[in-house]
Amino acid sequence: MKSFIFRIVSVLVAAFLLTACAHSYIHLVKTWKSPETKPAKFGKFLIVGASDNLERRWNFEDFFTEEFKHQGIAAIPSYMVIRTGDALSRQHLKDAARISGADGVLITRLMNIKKEIKEVPGGETLVFKPFTPYPLPNVDDISSANIPMVGTVIQEPPTIITNLEVSIETRLFDAATSSMVWYGVTSSGEVDDLKKATEAFAREIIKALAKDGMI
């Protein structure tokens, strides 16, 4: 009985941890906007994922672009106008903004990622199954026979949960002047997938940009 209760508790703990990861808290740690630049509502953004890891760069740019468009804001990923493998230099970004018609360049960089592996202990589940003797009892209705129940213990392995804690840095530049007009650092609680978390990061950053009069 104790083993059965322990297993139920273990399952509930695992479910709680997985739910917490799916709804992790993502928040702005700090923001800054240039006191020398009057707030301007940018009409179109060039989205740049500053990473040597091309897959990560594409993921950042795609998720941010889609979230901007979802909010009714024009945006284009930089890989559409800057060739893959080209360095993300100031001149390349300036040319890309001109070609794409973007008046704002949003650059996002992964600052820190911390990986933590948690183990929820396994346990034992006691399962009862009917034991049918052989030969069968001499009764007309087998369902009325007094069939004994035999308990079987099933060993359950531990549950492994991988969590990430992520911080990203975001810079917004005015394409016309090449000056930085906004800066923010965003951090997450525990997340189980960086791609899924990127959507939440994008929503939080868009919210902050709107609050500061940038969109």
pLDDT in tens, 93-149: 888 999 999 999 999 998 877 766 666 676 667 766 666 555 555 555 555 556 666
Can you give the residue ranges of every domain in the chain? 2-119+158-211, 123-156
Q: Which of 13-17, 31-35, 196-200 has the lowest mean pLDDT?
A: 13-17
Percent of the chain scoring above 90 in pLDDT? 32
Look at residue 197 in the predicted model and tell me its pLDDT.
81
Look at residue 209 in the predicted model and tell me its pLDDT.
94
Closest by Cα among 187, 31, 199, 49 to 112? 187
Gap between the Cα atoms of 67 and 98, Å rounded: 22
Residue 96 CB-half CA count within 13 A: 27
* Order of all β-strands in the sheet with 44-49: 26-33, 179-191, 159-174, 104-120, 44-49, 74-77
Mean pLDDT (the chain, rounded)? 77
Look at residue 35 in the predicted model and tell me its pLDDT.
86
Choosing among 3.90.1720.10, 3.30.1380.20, 3.20.20.140, 3.40.50.10610, the CATH entry for 2-119+158-211 is: 3.40.50.10610
CA 39, chain centre distance (Å): 30
Q: pTM higher than 0.95 for the full model? A: no
Look at residue 198 in the predicted model and tell me its pLDDT.
87
